[in-house]
Structure 1
């Protein structure tokens, strides 16, 4: 299958083997034979460092390496769950780590790719946390801990996050309209693809008089979804059924 495939928010976790099996099937049935596969963050529910790989993740890493070995280019962005993926992992997979915001040519048009959490600026508590854990000094300090110590800190952070989410207004976890518009302006594009919000849709919007398109990838639980881009353009699809996901006429 030629063309480019994009997905995000698989949240692969040893506690959810069904999601890993679904994604493995996706690699075999959709990504295999594609020109390129872009994974836009949260491939893993948690990533504690390239030196602390859970044994349950080994088979999917091997399958991804086989995909690139067969000729499909693999590009990975950090998400809010797996921001510690590094060059060691990328080298093992034969993948390229992308910056937080990357503009690539897809379906004949420059397209901004990002995980999407940076657009959720109304959630100020999360943005403060994001700034902390993306700081190289914080990351170096965290990675200097033993894997067991990292795991314990991650467990405590997840518990705190669950408690905070219970009281939060769900609207602030979606993107901020002005942050979206600023991203379009900053990069001079009229198409954006991201994940993170778990609100899949194909949005049409107007920025400074120009018609723009924002495609949002779904999360992977009992099913998933992806975008396929070729010379005809980009289409947001469900997996495994392959049906087109909803379109929004405005924001």
Structure 2
């Protein structure tokens, strides 16, 4: 997992039990899809390689140390510069309607619809992921797809909303670099979501409809950025 300038893994601490501990590592050179680990792991260590963000979300739900509750200040997700190829932007915009349907289903509190729209959104995002992208963009997109898959395979509304937090950390970072929009996108934030640390989402409308609390706090939040 990449968070700001840090690289994190989940280390299996007991060979006989599915118990994991977050560990920061230092990356060296990249060779295709592999990296040299300079420090943080030893030969023989076993780490999570699939479903990492699912493990992280579970840790966050249990109040344990996770990527989502790190205290270190990270760069603003609306201030991460990425170069988005024109073809990527066109395909990304085609995938956003399914995301908006997912967001609206969370507003309504319909877990089944949330799963269905997450699956549809993942399918469209996965097509984009097969293109040749730079490292940062590829990382954010792959994390988004992993979160969409986690939401699609989960029927618990609150757990879906936990994964939605991480999904938006990555999607908003990408969307903030779009530069050829026909309509304005709104970056909105609920300060009470994510254990009062705040969480963002994208909307095609300026009016606040909170996907993290639904009817319980429907209008809680504010527009924090506009992508034009």
Q: TM-score, normalised by structure 2?
A: 0.30
Which gives a bigger RCO, structure 1 or 2 (Cα 8 Å, sep 6+)?
A: 1
Greater helix proportion:
2
Q: TM-score, normalised by structure 1?
A: 0.28
